Amino acid sequence: MPELFLPLSLPHALAAWNTPGFGEVFKQEAEQLDPSQLPLQQGLSGTSDVADEPFRVMLIGAALDTGACIRVKAGIFYAGILGGCSCADDPTPLESQPEYCVLWFDIDKTSAATRVSLVADD
């Protein structure tokens, strides 16, 4: 899956790198991102559209220092909907369903600019 290059920045996570609070700071800052800036649509597995609901972040394993950047693997819990035709008699419910995907966050150690990409299935 190709990487997504988006204008993201995680300066608080960068500042917390190599401290005991890194995981929590990363989680809090990542959860403040606009969901449209993340490849959540590409991560859908059981629905067709990302629901307009908050998402949660879970740090998976340890973050890695790759020299120029900090690479963080994170699980994203979010909601999706199965869209119908929007007709008055459309029986498709618009109830959200749980979705989950795993993302890489590559945080530049100089500028905090962050690249996000979907982790391919193992």
Please state the pTM of the whole predicted model. Answer: 0.84
pLDDT score, position 67: 85
Report d(CA 81, CA 95) in Å as an integer. 6
- Cα distances from 119 to residues 42, 52, 66, 86, 113, in angstroms, run 10, 22, 17, 32, 19
Average pLDDT over residues 107-114: 94
Per-domain residue ranges of the chain? 4-118
Q: Judge whether residue 122 has pLDDT over 60.
A: no
46 vs 120, higher pLDDT: 46
Please write the tens of the pLDDT for every residue from 41-50. 999 999 999 9
Rg (C-alpha) for the chain, rounded Å, is 16
Condensed to tens digits (0 to 9), the pLDDT of residues 9-25 reads: 999 999 999 999 999 99
For residue 1, the model assigns a pLDDT of 43
